Amino acid sequence: MVLTIRETISKMRGWRPVELVLQDPAYTEEDKRVLRDERATVVDSPRAFLEVDDNTLVFAIAPTIPVKQVVADIARPLGMFYYDDKSVWVKYPNQPESHPRLCEDPWSPRCETMVRRHYMGHAIPYPDYTREVIFYSRKPEYPADPGQVQEQDESGEKDMEQNYS
């Protein structure tokens, strides 16, 4: 799936390459060989984070580390694949608010703001997963450099958004 989407985005961008860097501790040597044959770079953790830039796709399905937060601190990737996290929030008895039922890379307010402002979400039906995968593509009107983005608030005033915290 990721290879097909990478090719489609590359075609839409005039065949400019879109780098795909993959890291998963579960990859076997055969997995790594197949991915390398497809022009994907396979790296070991934590080097994968250092490879993220504004032209990469991030595919993070159920990671056990805060991928979203780290990625938001590094770059504004061309696209990101994450689970639809709304489906993992539940209300527990005797608790004032909902809590994640699984400990998988929850959205921080800062990451949620970045994605809401700078990305469009596209649901991708994926039969092997119990939840939807959402592909977040960077909006064309926003440059990759977060320091160059002009935000417009509800009153119509523009300001420079450099910090999402």
Radius of gyration of the chain (CA): 17
Q: What is the pLDDT of residue 11?
A: 92
Q: At a CB cut-off of 8 Å and minimum separation 6, what does 130 contact?
A: none
What predicted TM-score, i.e. pTM, was given to this entire model?
A: 0.66
pLDDT digits (tens, 9 = 90+) for 43-94: 887 788 888 888 878 888 778 788 899 998 989 998 898 877 655 444 445 5
Alpha-carbon span 93 to 45, nearest angstrom = 38
Alpha-carbon span 85 to 130, nearest angstrom = 12
Instruction: Please state the domain extents for the chain.
Output: 2-160
pLDDT digits (tens, 9 = 90+) for 11-42: 988 988 877 778 888 889 999 999 999 988 88
Q: At a CB cut-off of 8 Å and minimum separation 6, what does 156 contact?
A: none
Report yes or no: 56 and 75 within 8 Å, Cβ to Cβ. yes
Terminal-to-terminal C-alpha distance of the chain: 33
